[in-house]
Amino acid sequence: EPEVTQTPSHQVTQMGQEVILRCVPISNHLYFYWYRQILGQKVEFLVSFYNNEISEKSEIFDDQFSVERPDGSNFTLKIRSTKLEDSAMYFCASTAQQLATNEKLFFGSGTQLSVL
Amino acid sequence: EDQVTQSPEALRLQEGESSSLNCSYTVSGLRGLFWYRQDPGKGPEFLFTLYSAGEEKEKERLKATLTKKESFLHITAPKPEDSATYLCAVQGGSEKLVFGKGTKLTVNP
């Protein structure tokens, strides 16, 4: 079965540094998402992206966060100035069509971000 | 605000001992209820989507059912490889999924 690929699997950074998390969604998919999971807590929605623009974002997704689809295959999440509380597992996800049209939302294996 | 509560938080079963996991939800206009399996250090793996009360879906030893207030994931004759955290999520009137904290299932041989 096709997979969503995320790199790196682990990222360690110093507080205040910029990080870019990378994702390669499934090739024919059009809708892209970032979620995160702080250790021991729920998986939380960050942002959805379609047609080269953000379609929805959560309160967590403030001005420090941005997303981009720089080419036809990659989807990135940038955190401009990392904080300790940004430490979490970040998941990329994608679907071919809008959810609630009998679509599966496929998740990648995640990037574990540790901010020191 | 959409909310999902899963119970129990953890469940230990012997191999072959069937049981059910519960997902209670409140949502404005349910567009879909999702079940995922998550192994340690991995991303959620899609299992089922249910759309309306009364709907049921099956996959191997798993069967998911849906009512207007809750969903159940029934596990029949589980095996050790079914050990994982099972996540429930709902989609209401937006693009996002709202997840519960999950039920950690351990199946002992």
Task: Look up residue B80 and give its amino acid.
Answer: P
Nearest to B99 among A42, A102, A110 (CB): A42
At A72 the pLDDT is 77
At A2 the pLDDT is 81
Q: Which two tokens stand for residue B18?
A: 């069937």
Query: Which residue positions in chain A have pLDDT lower than 70?
Result: 99-102
Tell me phi and psi for residue A81, to 5 degrees: -140, 95
Specify the higher pLDDT residue, A79 or B94.
A79
The stretch B94-109 carries a mean pLDDT of: 95
DSSP bridge partners of A67: A77
Among all residues of chain A, which has the CA nearest to that of B92? Answer: A100
The answer to whether the CB atoms of B100 and A56 lie below 8 A apart is no
At A50 the pLDDT is 92
At A70 the pLDDT is 84
Q: How confident is the model at residue B60 (pLDDT cuts 50, 70, 90)?
A: very high
What whole-number distance in Å separates Cα of residue B89 and Cα of residue A96?
A: 19
Q: Which residues of B touch A91 (CB under 8 A)?
A: 43-44
Q: Is the pLDDT of residue B5 over 70?
A: yes
Write down the mean pLDDT value for chain B. Answer: 95
